[in-house]
Amino acid sequence: MRILIYMLLAGMFLSAAAMAQQKTYVLVHGAWGGGWSFKQTDSLLRSQGNTVYRPTLSGLGERVHLASQEIDLSTHIADVVNSILFENLHDVVLLGHSYGGMVVTGVADSIPERIGQLIYLDAFVPEDGQSVATAHGQQNAGREMPSKDGLIYPFWNTDGEGLPRDVPQPAKTFSQPLVLKNKDRLKIPTTYILTYEGDDPEKDAFAFFARRAQGHGWKTVNMQAGHNPQMDIPDKLAELLEQVSGAQ
């Protein structure tokens, strides 16, 4: 009987430990993209017992039929805030990829109490009052990208390319400055993952933001990969996310 009790207690302990390691991820895609870009990473994280959400921002991905020149950065921040609130999520591991860094910064400013960790994946790290166009500290950065009907078209798409694929990005999402008011967001444990190709991470286009992250005292991690590891090497990205989110 004593052995049976010990076995039951051990099973309960192991079960509780496993549940404690399970996390809730919210993965926010970059410009022109959609939640579809994280499909493989989603599956791999779920296979480890995690809960994963990958919302698609208004006017993009499978929501392209809602595209409008009136969609701005605030719209995209509200997309993710409402996903978290309506799903009643807490202690979220919130990741923003590329342009998604703008979005998750706004989300963390809006509902810091719901965010357990922040992860920037080769992403913009804006300061108060900055937009995508000015986040590098250059007033004219990003203005070379022409828009048509209030949308910025992905020039790299090829004729006849199937779905899923990149779609036009509402131009106001790049031009609207982000207003930050809640300093509680600065208390959230944060990691910056800089992806790079070649032999020198400092040559990467997003190294500027990795240095900014270091200036904030955030943990920074280098990952040898292209700009879209969620599609190119989702297994390695999922493994790194589990390491990073479990080390906080």
Kindly list the averaged pLDDT for each block of 10 residues, start to end, along the chain of length 248.
Answer: 50 44 96 98 99 99 97 99 99 99 99 99 98 78 64 84 92 98 97 96 95 98 98 99 87
Distance CA 28, CA 33 (A): 10
Neighbours of 112 (CB within 10 A): 16
pTM of the model: 0.89
Distance CA 63, CA 65 (A): 5
Residue spans per domain, the chain: 21-246
Give the per-residue pLDDT at 141. 46
Torsion angles phi and psi, residue 198, rounded to 5: 95, -155
- Contact between residue 41 and residue 97 where contact means Cβ atoms under 8 Å apart: no
Give the per-residue pLDDT at 146. 65
Distance CA 50, CA 90 (A): 13
Give the per-residue pLDDT at 248. 56
What is the rounded (10 degree) CA torsion for 107, 196, 222, 104?
0
- Residue of 37, 58, 83, 98 with catalytic role: 98
What is the CATH T-level fold of the domain 21-246, as seen in this structure?
Rossmann fold (3.40.50)
Residue carrying the six token digits 């996310």:
241
Give the per-residue pLDDT at 160. 72
58 part of the active site: no
Give the per-residue pLDDT at 14. 41
pLDDT (tens digit per residue) in 145-197: 667 789 999 988 777 778 899 999 999 999 999 999 999 999 999 999 999 99
Neighbours of 144 (CB within 10 A): 7
Give the per-residue pLDDT at 43. 99
- Contact between residue 193 and residue 166 where contact means Cβ atoms under 8 Å apart: no
Give the per-residue pLDDT at 135. 94
Give the per-residue pLDDT at 16. 41
Give the per-residue pLDDT at 158. 72
Give the per-residue pLDDT at 142. 44
Give the per-residue pLDDT at 149. 85
- The gap from C-alpha 206 to its chain's centroid, in whole angstroms, comes to 14
